Structure 1
């Protein structure tokens, strides 16, 4: 049986970027196993006007190899849309446009096998043995010397709604559920990130047509804009990732909570569009919508009357209030989990004290630091750069260089104007002062 140099599990944008960047590396042979029948990126949120929150250069390959034949600009050229994109003068591709680009790239790389559901991974004396069910349900076996885990994150449902039942919808499934939601007399959105704002605006625009009441609830004190200033963007730099990784685990967790507005807020343009839509509709009379801030969801029930009763608490006033709604949309984000197929490898993987991957600076999680890599499962160790599409090519460069045992792609070590730790010259000066005293 053929032994691959590596097997990549999951084919989201990050592992697809890995496939593109290794396609022309002759001494690396990888196989990419994806459970879906074809490439699909957030289909439930493919709203017509939604754009990426990163510029087009944050494609699959450009930040590692600007001359790659798999770049977004090459895709535009081949599909006859390059000049249209140029005249548009907007660096931010439409989300549907990015999905089409990824599909284009996936159709041009070898080694990708769709419809393969990985069921179990074991390790024999020399290789990882991957058991997967194929499109026809027949079991298939693959062998590889190393693994790259890109299984992504899963929709998160708050524990206070565990087992609540009823037709609640996570934003991951919004579009397929939209028509049913709009038959309800009332709809409530929980959450205040970009996805929540996009769903709110989409439903607000058609509120007059369908006549529902629309609520938007967040426990945040306001609807935060995502900070997108240039010095803040330097926090996705290699230097900041190294600085963040070197901090104690508890400090990293605290910082991530404090940094939510840096990567989990709403784009300023979208906030303005929501306000303008509210203002425009208000001219004709009261708008049947309500925006609740400082409001935490603490419980909920699905009743026989076909509606939810949500238990809400105002965090500043510490007072409770019930809210009834027929439709419920959870914009509560995503969480990384550990796939069940890794159970046989538990002893080969490093874990932190909270049962998460203990990810090395090189994106490895095995005890030897050379066999099992992760993509976008390291937010708790590498910070806000982990889910950033713009850092995907950088991380892939690091992983590929380790897989090949040589520098295939140069990796920038310093790109920021800021210093995130103590500069070496100041550290030396401090030591000298201490000695003299």
Structure 2
């Protein structure tokens, strides 16, 4: 589910509001094994030189890959090295390639006071192995806060604490993570003894510190790189005053440096991130004028009721995957209300109270609403974006206003056009989760039906990419994590199976 959260109100001051700072974690370059004994927490996974053949290369080191690392550690912990799997009499050779310079989890939306939307029990291990070293409960115990957390009487920790927990888990695996590595392609390669089958893959990445390309060979690849920010047309992908919500906490105090200034700010979107930003600006920029532009008629609450929440149970994946395609697509659309374009109810209620107090202060008529500092503007669609001629370095939005079609009290109303100028625009329009299509461009000839122009990679029940028959060896493959919703449902990335390890690797329900 979405990592974003319920944001309580708070007091503004004359200083730029402090975004929660993630807990520090030291980053380690790929070093020889002898460089690591001083690590306080050290996993059972060991460093492998880049010129050796890996058993597994993971693209990305977010929660999905971290869950895989934890599951591998727990497997080795319970069985004891060497791992008891036929054909593998040693610990697996694993590396995680991460684009960021250290572990981060949605740091761009780490807002003050924000809480998790899901129970801490869906952490890195509890649902798979509650006795694991890596449960959130054990993290609290190790940091001497278990009793105090219990006194909070909540299943929803603040996001800043959960970020610290994830970083604590990640710190165990420093010697098998290579940061500043942006993976650019994954290419299958044949072996001279493979009867014409592809038995390994070459994973090429760009070292963001040196700019040089690096290659690693592996039998298995997991693509778990997370989502890429979706900035839809007509918004420019690169503009000094237009930012995606994923960058909010990194850029807001640069775009809006003075908290008492009467900035004009637009937020685009109708989900949790948009609502959090709208609420944050109201609290910390009391003289600002904010406009939340939404396509629909109202912000809607997320459905986290217990029966509906059963769609996230791992057992639901089988029935979803085996469902007829039309029925599966229909049920996935029905399930969207749990996570997409929706807002946690208590944040909705807080925002509604904010707008209500504006009715008290400024008046309750449509004429008075125009002068409210903070407005939700429904049935709006941005059609054009350009530099503002009236706001210095600002942005002008051309907007199609369809609200008269739905809200007018007179018959035969027509849509209108608006032109609004802003100091900054924050676009909270979700993410693309299709990086594997780009990374595997050079492998499209191995698709079951050939490299058709509009073909998309298909995935099997075990999250393994479906290659054409007899093209890829049984002890090789590519798995996807976090981008299988259309086939596995909204909870469609809790399991990844790797035959070489003889175990199911379970990640959290985040």
Same fold (TM over 0.5): yes
1:214 aligned to 290, 309, 313, which one? Answer: 290
Following TM superposition, by how much is the alpha carbon of 1:47 offset from its aligned partner in structure 2, in angstroms?
A: 0.3
Tell me the secondary structure at the aligned position of residue 127 of structure 1. strand
Q: Does 1:236 align with 2:286?
A: no
1:37 aligned to 89, 101, 110, which one? Answer: 101
Following TM superposition, by how much is the alpha carbon of 1:139 offset from its aligned partner in structure 2, in angstroms?
A: 4.1
Q: TM-score, normalised by structure 2?
A: 0.72
Q: TM-score, normalised by structure 1?
A: 0.83
Q: Does 1:381 align with 2:487?
A: yes
- Separation of aligned partners in 2, 1:252 and 1:352: 24
- Separation of aligned partners in 2, 1:322 and 1:253: 36
Following TM superposition, by how much is the alpha carbon of 1:360 offset from its aligned partner in structure 2, in angstroms?
A: 1.4
- Separation of aligned partners in 2, 1:313 and 1:248: 39
Identify if the C-alpha distance between structure 1 residues 91 and 163 changes in structure 2 by more than 3 Å, giving closer, same or farther: closer
Following TM superposition, by how much is the alpha carbon of 1:10 offset from its aligned partner in structure 2, in angstroms?
A: 0.4
2:227 aligned to 143, 147, 153, which one? Answer: 153
Q: Answer whether contact 1:352 1:358 (CA < 8 A) is retained.
A: no
Q: Answer whether contact 1:35 1:117 (CA < 8 A) is retained.
A: yes
Which residue in the other structure is 1:269 paired with? 346
1:3-52 per-residue CA deviation (whole Å, 9 max, x = no partner) reads 22111110111111111111243433321111211001111110011112
Q: Does 1:297 align with 2:382?
A: yes
Q: Answer whether contact 1:165 1:302 (CA < 8 A) is retained.
A: no
The unaligned stretches of length 5 or more in structure 2 are 1-50, 84-91, 191-198, 364-371, 407-413
Which residue in the other structure is 1:174 paired with? 248
Which residue in the other structure is 2:12 paired with? none
Which residue in the other structure is 2:497 paired with? 399
1:96-245 to structure 2, matched below 5 A, reads: 96-109=160-173, 110-125=175-190, 126-134=199-207, 135-162=209-236, 165=239, 167-179=241-253, 180-181=255-256, 183=261, 185-208=263-286, 211-245=287-321
Q: Answer whether contact 2:67 2:506 (CA < 8 A) is retained.
A: no
Q: Answer whether contact 1:349 1:365 (CA < 8 A) is retained.
A: no
Q: Answer whether contact 1:300 1:311 (CA < 8 A) is retained.
A: no
Q: Does 1:17 align with 2:81?
A: no
- Separation of aligned partners in 1, 2:154 and 2:140: 14
Following TM superposition, by how much is the alpha carbon of 1:366 offset from its aligned partner in structure 2, in angstroms?
A: 3.4
Q: Answer whether contact 1:205 1:277 (CA < 8 A) is retained.
A: no
- Separation of aligned partners in 1, 2:281 and 2:355: 12
Q: Answer whether contact 1:298 1:313 (CA < 8 A) is retained.
A: no
Q: Answer whether contact 1:171 1:195 (CA < 8 A) is retained.
A: yes
Identify if the C-alpha distance between structure 1 residues 253 and 323 changes in structure 2 by more than 3 Å, giving closer, same or farther: farther
Following TM superposition, by how much is the alpha carbon of 1:344 offset from its aligned partner in structure 2, in angstroms?
A: 2.0
Q: Answer whether contact 1:4 1:145 (CA < 8 A) is retained.
A: yes
Following TM superposition, by how much is the alpha carbon of 1:352 offset from its aligned partner in structure 2, in angstroms?
A: 9.5
Following TM superposition, by how much is the alpha carbon of 1:323 offset from its aligned partner in structure 2, in angstroms?
A: 3.8
Which residue in the other structure is 1:3 paired with? 53
Q: Does 1:365 align with 2:465?
A: yes
Tell me the secondary structure at the aligned position of residue 307 of structure 2. helix
The unaligned stretches of length 5 or more in structure 1 are 387-391, 412-437
Q: Answer whether contact 2:385 2:395 (CA < 8 A) is retained.
A: no
Identify if the C-alpha distance between structure 1 residues 185 and 136 changes in structure 2 by more than 3 Å, giving closer, same or farther: closer
The root-mean-square deviation of aligned C-alpha atoms, in Å, is: 2.7
1:322 aligned to 418, 433, 444, which one? Answer: 418
Q: Does 1:337 align with 2:434?
A: yes
Higher helix share: 1
The number of equivalent residue pairs is: 399
Following TM superposition, by how much is the alpha carbon of 1:223 offset from its aligned partner in structure 2, in angstroms?
A: 0.8
